[in-house]
A and B are shown apart, each in its own frame.
Chain A
Amino acid sequence: MSEDMTIQSVRQLTEQLRRMVERHFPFVWVRGEVGNVSRPASGHFYFTLKDAEAQLQCVWFRQQQRQRGPFDPLTGEVFETPPPAPEELLRQGAELICAGHVGIYAPRGQYQLVVELVQPAGQGGLAQAFEERKRRLAALGYFAQERKRRLPWNPARVALITSPHGAAIHDFRRLAAPRGQAAHIRLYPAVVQGEGAAPSLVRALETANAHALLPDGPQVIVLIRGGGSLEDLWAFNEQEVAEAVYRSRLPVLAGIGHEVDVTLADLTADVRAATPSHAAQLLWPSRQELIQLLDDQEAALFRGMQRRLERQELLLGHLARLLRAHAPLRQLERLESTRRRLSFAMQRAVREMLVRRQRQTDHLAQVLRSFWNPARLAASTREADALEERLRAALPRLLSRRQQEFLWWEQRLHAGGRQLVSRAEEQRERLALRLTACDPLGPLERGYALVADNQGAVVHSVRQAHDGQELHIRLQDGALGVTVAQIRPRAGKTSMAVKGE
């Protein structure tokens, strides 16, 4: 269905509706009461089905009205009495069950049921049979999802069950041709319609399953039949066929009728294809797809190898570098260079040590020389010897000189002593003489007098006296107190006249 929002024509819209309705109601069973029956010259029936609330337009085309016959086309049931003619069934007010698909009749803008089957209601028709059987098989677990098996991928051996004369095998083969690997498709022919169809299908299923045990046996069963009316497909609704599918050891892929047809065999099969063509598509991937897969694998293969090689190359390069770095010659070179470096260092260290020692030695030697010079030592020794000699020589001389000196001084002392005594003697005598001569009282004896003042001081001159002064005149036999009466200095000289007291 187109989803664009453009303005559509009535025809376009109706066409869309028609497709939608046909897709959603491909096959329905409807029950209702017949009304408005008409049968124009075309032979088609037009009528309505209705109930209390709704009504449905129905058309029953002439080609579909082939219900006549001694047996039921769907169930194979042989009628004791021939089935009623269509016009007998479509009586006004009759309660009917109609099967068919819903369509739209464009010219009248009307939806309608396109009838395929008509049965009187309450008579136990196909619909009830189908529904009842479906319920029963479902209860038995025939349709259970958990027992569905996966189809083998891209199978090489396929058992095909269908009619060799039908359209299905052609469709299947045409669609299969460009798909999958070169497979072996073995047809197990079966009657797919009408009397004996069900047993024939069951036999084919059994044979294919029996062959599955052989080494070259099929891997999968494909059960197909072209589209047809409900009764054409009825064999696939038979319980024995469903049972055979259910029992199948091989996975079963069913593609029966058109997309809209669902049979019990379809429901029981492991995988259901919409049509025989679809079955071929489900069974095999397209060859282009396979080739693409192969291309992908090849590319992955190449990539994987490329990556591997690149990695190895990288590793190799790395290892080669390592190897070169660890080659004996290189090792030797490295060791040699280390040795040289160490040797230089050692030499330098030794040299430096020697220089340092030399310097130390020089210094010490210098110090030593300054203390320990033989010439200087000899000189010192000589000097010491000389000094000693001088010392030794000096001492006696010093002693004798001191002796002499002592003796000399001794003599001088003796002489001096004696002289001192004699001189003192002489001086004493002389002094004694002088003393005698100098006695102030001596002259007094010879008539001299000694004049003194009150204080005892001798008066030498007239100038020392003043009138009235009392003076003492000492005479040889006493003293006279006198008073100065007159002073008569000598010519040229002041004379003093002493007045006696």
Chain B
Amino acid sequence: MGWFDKLTRPRRDVPSDLWKKCTRCGEVLLIKDLAKNLYLCSKCDQHLRMPIWDRIALLSDDNSFVEVNREIRSIDPLNFVDSKSYVDRLKESIAKTDVNEAVTTGRASIDGIPMMLGVMNFEFMGGSMGSVVGEKLTRILETGAAEKLPVIIVSASGGARMQEGIYSLMQMGKTSAAIKRLNRARVPYISIMTDPTTGGVSASFASLGDINIAEPGALIGFAGPRVIEQTIRQKLPEGFQRAEFLLAHGMVDCVTHRRVLKSTVARMLRYLSA
């Protein structure tokens, strides 16, 4: 788990802050145009990764988002050092992303329906789940159950955060148990899987939605494609582990275009909420 951190490193070599290359067609896109176009490629409509504040704005009503539990921050329980120390990696991520952790959570409304929202940030250590991601998500799930507020979680993660060792693994159990309680309280949970959703995140809360939505083209799976290729020593078929593959295999309820994501989620909630 967490291999995405590595896998996607070359992509960060985008030489300028002003433009980005489409990950599918290679079209050069100006960031300011992208931001106006929901981070969709203007040429091929590829759904590129969306910064979290744009994502929050996309899904919640204007000015309705109020962040919660911002003060929960990572510590370094194992004193973990690889080629860099975990503490330094955290500092770098905080500086780069201007948020404290790989998930931002809050209260918001969607088409007037109050909800709890969690949005993962792939830019923060590959969106990896450590103790803080687990805790912040568990808290919004518990609030959702207690106050009968639907929960929406937008995933973007390579998996568990290796630097927190066993603690990060246990977040899979913790978040999944909290979802079971939400289920028992008959409060809807909608999971939105974006590019990429893999490893321990895919194998816990992201797969457990009452409704699972995938963004077009998103890479979603348990094992990373490179790990699978190395294990079975054969090339993976075209489209393997993409959103459409998951839809075909019955793992997601729908693949939904970003332009209609908010209205689709709101419609679902109106059906499921009391």
Report if A and B associate in a common complex: no
Residues of A within 8 A of B (CB): none
